[in-house]
Structure 1
């Protein structure tokens, strides 16, 4: 049985909050009214739970995490196979979780871990399911929902009310449009739109903002056109196009990352290009 953990004098815990005496509380932690913190929880230095927040399970909130009212973190997953195993949940440093966000801990059948990276923004009413792995600096907009085992890499953005199928992968720097049903993997730096997500190009705006040089942008445009020919027509299969692009552009790290992602094992396969689009994306270098 866990023994009580001494709390630092700098912790500010409201009198109405219920904080288990075994929870680990860091320096300058603020816990507002009507919050509940379970026995296996760790709140690192500077964590702020505004009000009516529930944190349970084997859950760790890293330094400076800010959690707004009515958020639940680390509760049992919505998975009928879950039998109470001690699984985990982790929120990275500097991440902000807005109102009504729900994040469930992992399952023994998955990674046994649900993780949200550092400096992310998860907006109101979003749901992050069991065993999801979210990278750093990810933005998840209001009402986004995702099934279990979703992976979202660093710097990706998922716009409002998008729905991500279980086991979907979203690559680094990709953007998912609003009200998008994402059933298949989104390549790094890709941009998907539509009721059923279709690839419409690369995330040129995000690439520009991240400081990608114009010559590399042009190379990425040419590589995308070879991988996804205009109007979808091609005399070669995707594997051959990947090999050709790797030969010509594989020395560029972002293009190599795209190709590695496309060749990696996948539960869902790759999102298809929008009919008639191919290389017709208009935001270019």
Structure 2
């Protein structure tokens, strides 16, 4: 096993899924968040998920207890001091991540690898906030983490070959498929996906079709398992907007300009599934 003790920063949907995946593969995982309520929600989400797996016959009760036994939670970042790997899954804001990585650089041992689950931000820029850029790497899981097989592994400018190989090996242990990509805005997945979602939003904004029609065209005509607007609601419209802004700023190309309707929905607090309202109403 590549790593024994792992700390996951952020107990939201992505962080909880990463923690669950690590714990199931036998790693000792500490799930951290700054708020006790957030940690409690993350642990409750994991409990609920593994209970469903047992109910479906995809996990037995012994495996469930073993998974939960590998998991602990914390609101004390200093607890990351004994981790061999830290995976950050905090909100998609560069300043938040840079402050966090600077703290982790001071807290963690000198050989600890610091990975970020960022879906679009520069690994090189994040690594520059530490004194160990050779040990900083992108590990972009897909959502939902426990189901999706892909992990994009992104090298920063200074990421060492040894760090890359360790993270690649871990990805295989987790039952995922690692794909190496270079450090450009949006990497591969979101550089392709988000402009498609943004264009789908433009078709609604310009009155070409209603959300249901847009999704139906892409599902039935392009064989997509989920329409782009349903997917946007699932991802979170605030996350979609943040990624589009990263692409627009990073490339300076107008083709990445976020649709005004996307910006308006985020301003209104209509963020998709997590707020029960986005392009669809989830009440």
Q: Is TM > 0.5 for Structure 1 vs Structure 2?
A: no
Tell me: higher relative CO, structure 1 or 2? Use CA pairs within 8 A at least 6 residues apart. 2
Higher share of residues assigned helix: 2
Higher share of residues assigned strand: 1
Higher-Rg member (1/2): 1
